[in-house]
Amino acid sequence: MKVAERELIHTVEIEDKTKENKIPIKEKNRDISIDLIRVIACLTVIGTHLCLQVLNQCYNRIDWSRLLEKSFFTDGVPLFFMITGFFLVNGRNYSKILKSTAKKILLPSCIFIVLTQIFYLFIVNKESFMYCIQNFNIDIIGIIQAILKADVTYLNSTCAHLWYIFSYVKIVIWIPVLWLVCKETKDAKMARKIMLGLGIANIFLKDIQRFVVLPVIGEISILNIICNEIVYVLLGYELFVNKDKIKNNRKLCIISLIGFVAINFIRYKVEMKYMVLNYFIDIVDRENFMEWRYTGFNIISGLFLFMFLYSFELKNEKLNKVILWLSDKTFGIYLIHYLILAKIDLYKFEKIEKFEFELLYLIIGVISIFIFSTIIVYLIQKIVKLVIVLKKYLNFEKN
């Protein structure tokens, strides 16, 4: 193994006397299957934003093939939430979690918001890059208000995807409570089952209410106690508890893949019926329902996809290193990709009508945006590391 490679994975080698080989400690402890799930979730999020509108504005009609495509691109965020639950009891104390969230999530997000305010007109192809630098205006009060209201969409359209940050912060706030129920004691298991039961029942009840008018029952409001994000986190913890049963389980791998495909075809049929029922009313909600992350279909589909990817056996060492490298960049890719989509202006592709061309557009688009975003994130990380090294060097020189 080359020195550069050893530095890349931040590990040392130990002698394994029973197998007479060397095992990298870091790779041994890191679950590469979770890194794979993180990369797939990132690709799925990009696919969600790339999917063409089902309510085709160019032809003024519903495009059912686009609805089918969107049905398979709705589980990226649920996967991320479940990964959070999977590592919920990883031994870190709460203060470290708060510091890590502030440094790795909130700080980059705030920088993103500021930069999008400065360069918004350039991003949406209305003014030049230099024009934005010479005439930039940062609405600090507006940014603070948006953060306090947990809604940054009114600042500019390139911040629409940052709703996930607020959901993640909500989970972080819940963590001390979740630690109390995420234990393998009798009382903790019972509390966890009650929380999951209430949360899932609430999600399915809302799905039913889209098609059937149900009587208002005051006591049923107790179902709203458990927020939807927490349901996915608790499911992620359950997957962690049963990981040994899922890992490298070929039978479960096949069953999960079949289940994922089947549930999304069912989702497609149900969503088609929903859109037809609401053809002349509730236009915005019709479009959002099929990509909404808090439906019963998303719970089932997300679980199937997670189990399929986690049960998938990864043996290629070089591929594992690539997955690991990409996984460490997924949050940056999540932030950056939305700017690229805005710059490209996807509306020009709305004229695509044939199913095979739509699929080709999605495949090429997802891969291209992912690669381009990865390159940008890689360069930013290199610049940040260089600045840190220079700062340390200058401090050393002063001392």
Taking alpha carbons only, the member of 272, 270, 277 closest to residue 296 is 270
Is the pLDDT at 110 greater than 50? The verdict is yes
What is the per-residue pLDDT for 399? 64
Other beta carbons less than 10 A from residue 33's beta carbon: 21
What is the per-residue pLDDT for 362? 93
Q: What angle do CA 377, 301, 328 make, to 5 degrees?
A: 20
> From CA 296, how far away is CA 220, in angstroms rounded?
18
What is the per-residue pLDDT for 15? 37
Tell me which DSSP letter residue 105 carries: I
> Tokens in use for 114?
């500021």
What is the per-residue pLDDT for 391? 80
> From CA 91, how far away is CA 389, in angstroms rounded?
30
Phi and psi, residue 136, nearest 5°: -70, 150
> From CA 51, how far away is CA 146, in angstroms rounded?
27
Let me know: does 117 contact 139? Beta carbons within 8 Å: yes
Taking alpha carbons only, the member of 92, 91, 144 closest to residue 114 is 144
Let me know: does 105 contact 331? Beta carbons within 8 Å: yes
Direct distance between the N- and C-terminal alpha carbons of the chain, in angstroms, rounded to an integer: 37
335-382 residue pLDDT tens = 999 999 999 888 888 888 888 999 999 999 999 999 999 999 999 999
46-78 residue pLDDT tens = 998 998 888 776 767 778 888 888 888 888 999
What is the per-residue pLDDT for 6? 38
**Confidence band, pLDDT 50/70/90 cuts, at residue 389:** confident
> From CA 311, how far away is CA 185, in angstroms rounded?
27
> From CA 156, how far away is CA 153, in angstroms rounded?
6
Helix (H, G, I), strand (E, B) or coil at 247: coil
What single letter denotes the amino acid at residue 183? K
**Confidence band, pLDDT 50/70/90 cuts, at residue 16:** very low
DSSP lists the bridge partners of residue 29 as none
Let me know: does 43 contact 330? Beta carbons within 8 Å: no
What is the per-residue pLDDT for 206? 84
260-307 residue pLDDT tens = 999 999 988 888 887 776 655 554 555 555 455 678 999 999 999 999
Average pLDDT (11-28) is 38
Q: Which helix (H) or strand (E) holds 85?
A: helix 76-86
> Tokens in use for 176?
């001390």
> From CA 289, how far away is CA 207, in angstroms rounded?
10
Cα 365 to the chain's mean position, in Å?
A: 18
> Tokens in use for 66?
């686009």
Average pLDDT, the chain: 83
204-251 residue pLDDT tens = 888 888 777 777 666 666 777 888 899 999 999 999 999 999 998 999
What is the per-residue pLDDT for 281? 52
What is the per-residue pLDDT for 1? 40
Helix (H, G, I), strand (E, B) or coil at 274: helix
In this prediction the pTM is 0.85
Domain boundaries, the chain: 1-26
